[in-house]
Structure 1
Amino acid sequence: MPDYREKLWPTPWIYIVSVLLIPASILVLAPVSLPAGIVTGIVLYVGLVGSLAVTSPVIEVQGGRLRAGRAEIALEDVGEAIPADEEQARIERGTGLDARAFLVIRGWIKPVVRVPVDDAADPTPYWLVSTRRPEELAAAINGSRRPDVQESGA
C-alpha cells in the first residue's frame, strides 16, 4: 500500500463549463442538421471528459520512490520536501520557478510541493508537484526517505 497517493483530477467547474460544448456545437451545426449538432456536442463533451480523466497524473510515494505522472525518482536522491500554499505556491509556479525544474503542475490545483533533487549527476534542481494536500505529501516524502538522509537533513 502506498504511503501517499493522489490523482490530480480536474475541479468540478471544468466539467460544468465543458458542457457548453454541446450548445456551441448545436449552434454551429443547426443550419446544417440539428441532430448532427446534438450528437457532435455530446461526442465532443464525452471526448473532453475522457481525455481529462485519462491524462490526470497520479502522485504517489511508495517503496522508497516518488512517482509524479510517468516520472519517478528514488527518495534517497531527494532532499526535504517543502509544501507551499497560496502566496508561496504562486511564487513557486511563477517568478521563483527555475526553468530546469521538473514540473507536474495543474492550473486548477494551487498548492504545490517542492522536492529538491540531491543527485549531482541530475541537472534538475527540484521537482515541483501540484497537490491538494501539500502537508501530507511532504510528510510522506520526508517520512519515507532513508534514515541517514533524514538525520543529515534535519
Structure 2
Amino acid sequence: MLTGLYNRNSYDEWVKEKQQADGTLIVTFDLNNLKHCNDTMGHAMGDSYIKNAAEIISRVFGSHGRCYRIGGDEFCVVIQNRGGFDLEERLKELELEQQEFNQSHTIPKIQIAYGFVGFDAEKDMDFEAARSRADVKMYEKKRALKGGGR
C-alpha cells in the first residue's frame, strides 16, 4: 500500500506461473541507510524514504517491466521483453533521478543499491535462483556505495 508497487505475494505468484525464459532480466534493489533514517529521524521519515525510492524505481523501470516491493526496503524489477531496452541507460537514469531528488530534498537522502542478472537455465533452477544471483551483485554495490570497497 505504501509504495503502489506489486508486493511479495504478487512476485511469488508470478514466479509460480511463469515459464523460466532465458534472458528475462531481474534487477534487485536495496535502500542504503534506511535503519539509520528510522533510528535518527523516525519511522515516518523512513516510510517517506521507502515511498520516494519506490517512485524513482517505478519511473525508471515501470514502463519496461513489473516492479515489486519484496521486503521492507528491498525491491525487484522483472523485465521479460527486452527488445529496445537499454539497461545501462536505465541505470544512469536511476542515478540521475536519485541525484535530482537529493538536491531538492534535504532529508532523507536516497541511495539505492542494485544488482542484475539475466535468467540462465544453465545456472538457475528458477527465477528465485536468478534473483539470488542478482542479490549477490546488489550487495556488492551496496558495500561499494557505503565505502566498503569490495
Give the TM-score, by structure 2 length.
Answer: 0.29
With CA pairs under 8 Å and 6+ residues apart, which has the higher RCO, 1 or 2? 2
Bigger CA radius of gyration: 1
The structure with the largest helix share of the pair is 2
The structure with the largest strand share of the pair is 1
